[in-house]
Amino acid sequence: MTFSTELEAKFARLLASYPPGRQRSAMIPMLMFAQDELGCVSAELVNEVARRIGVTPVQVEEVLTYYSMLHRKPLGKAHVQVCTNISCLLTGGAELWEQACSRLGIGHKEVLPDGSISLEEVECIGACSWAPAIQVNYQFHHFVTPEKLDRLLASLRNENPHAV
């Protein structure tokens, strides 16, 4: 399997970051960074990572199913993650989640047919003092209002607000 030069450089750095014989430590970071480039953790990627760190593919699968940010299927180009945990719940996060679902017509961990947006109701993302908060891919959006959310979804769909 071939990756971009940047990702290969990252892999090389990761594999050199851990004590000798401990290359398995690089597994989760490798999967995360590769997923960012490829869109998901494919069976091919599992095999490739396993080969490079010297474990069996099933040892990689066992680990990847544990972590909520690693996905076997591609997400939307923009992965919209709405937090509804306690601080966000108190400030309107649950309503934002309902709004996002109804505007897009999809639910938890679903993707729009054109692949532009996917939705996920997430647990605390560490933005409690600036709640309600949303993350689009790795980008934080703080103090989100219903209007801000509509504008955000519209820009992600690259359409006018009336079509959202």
Q: What residue ranges bind other proteins (CB under 8 A)?
A: 17-19, 22, 24-29, 31-33, 53, 55, 62-63, 66-70, 84-87, 89-91, 123-131, 135, 138, 142
Cβ proximity to other proteins, 108 vs 159, nearer residue:
108
| Helical axes 43-53 vs 27-38, angle rounded to 10° | 150
Cβ proximity to other proteins, 29 vs 154, nearer residue:
29
Instruction: Give 42-49 contacts, CB < 8 A, sequence gap 24+.
Output: 42/72, 44/1, 45/1, 47/1, 48/1
In the bound complex, what is the minimum distance in angstroms from residue 164's beta carbon to other proteins? 25
In the bound complex, what is the minimum distance in angstroms from residue 58's beta carbon to other proteins? 13
Q: Could you tell me if 119 and 110 are in contact, meaning their C-beta atoms sit under 8 angstroms apart? A: yes
Nearest one of 69, 64, 23 to 46, comparing CA atoms:
64
Cβ proximity to other proteins, 21 vs 113, nearer residue:
21
Cβ proximity to other proteins, 12 vs 161, nearer residue:
12
Instruction: Tell me the three state secondary structure of residue 47.
Output: helix
Cβ proximity to other proteins, 42 vs 87, nearer residue:
87
In the bound complex, what is the minimum distance in angstroms from residue 113's beta carbon to other proteins? 26
Q: What's the gap between Cα 12 and its chain centre?
A: 23
In the bound complex, what is the minimum distance in angstroms from residue 115's beta carbon to other proteins? 22
In the bound complex, what is the minimum distance in angstroms from residue 163's beta carbon to other proteins? 29
Q: How far apart are CA 69 and CA 62, in angstroms?
A: 14
Query: Which residue carries 């971009």 as its tokens?
Result: 4
* DSSP state, residue 26: G
